[in-house]
Amino acid sequence: MLDPATKGAVDPTRYFENVTTDDDVPEQDPVCLYLETTNRCNLLCTTCPRTYEELEPPADMSWELFTSIVDQVPRLQRAVLHGVGEPMLVKHLPRMVRYLKDRGTYVLFNTNGTVLNEKNGRALIAAGLDELRVSFDAANAESYRAIRGKNYFNRILKNVRAFRVAHRFARNDRGIAGFRPRCRRDRRQGSALAAARVFQGERHRHGAPGSGTLRAALRRGGRLY
């Protein structure tokens, strides 16, 4: 609860520093955590607040902080490992995934896909990641660069394709979902992998898409397979 005496004097970007009491005790333990494992990123998306302003010094969540948070949530069912930042820049990310999987938690995160190289992809698969969402809100290299600030369109296509192959081999072709174009126009625009979600457990044909990107891609005629 915010101290009423500070009303009007609170910096909205640092509101948490003004919390003075912890008397709002929930009836049940939490079952879902959103952990911003880093606030660093290697892109400069025009849609992202961090492109325009540095609200905090760049930092990754330490292993000690991560485990201390997770250990306080014994009923944890689902953990989301992204906030504003690129989680795959975090050195310990596969270890974090493994730590959560060992507790029976469903683990997912969004990535921009830029560092989803073969080695990093395999490490995540081996760690047991349940769901990977690749944000890819552009249909060609030019629009990608205009929206995301860097020229990584082809690199990400290559990374996602390689990841899907690695996943298929690792999981015996169980539960892969991805975006596939249905018409030539989609293919021409290079949107074969405009959005991809990869599941290790079950196939989610009609689950709620994880991003506006995927919903838009599906509306344009793509399908999950």
Residues that bind ligand SF4 (CB under 6 A): 41, 43-45, 47-48, 50-51, 84-86, 112
| Other CB atoms within 10 A of residue 100 CB | 24
Pick between residue 133 and residue 167 the one whose CB is nearest to ligand SF4.
133
Number of H helices, E strands in the chain: 7, 7
Question: Rounded to the nearest whole angstrom, what is the least distance from the CB of residue 216 to ligand SF4 in the complex?
Answer: 16
User: What is the DSSP secondary structure assignment for residue 209, as one 8-state letter?
Assistant: P
CB of 20 to ligand SF4, least distance (A): 31
Between 45 and 216, name the residue whose CB sits nearer to ligand SF4.
45
**Residue 20 to residue 2: CA distance in whole angstroms:** 6
Contact in structure between 167 and 185 (CB atoms under 8 Å):
no
Please give the full DSSP string across 138-160, using - where no structure is assigned.
-SSHHHHHHHHSSS-HHHHHHHH
For ligand SF4, give the closer residue by CB, 44 or 126: 44
The CB-of-39 to ligand SF4 minimum distance in angstroms stands at 8
For residue 190, how far is the Cα from the chain centroid? 22
Write the single-letter amino acid at 189: Q
Query: Smaller CB distance to ligand SF4: residue 40 or 103?
Result: 40
Least distance from ligand SF4 to the Cβ atom of residue 110, Å: 7
Q: Are 48 and 78 in contact, with CB atoms under 8 Å apart?
A: no
In DSSP terms, 224 is beta-bridged to 179
Q: How far is the CB of 113 from ligand SF4 (least distance, A)?
A: 9
Which is nearer to ligand SF4, 43 or 70 (by Cβ)?
A: 43
Both ends of the chain: CA-CA distance in Å?
Answer: 46
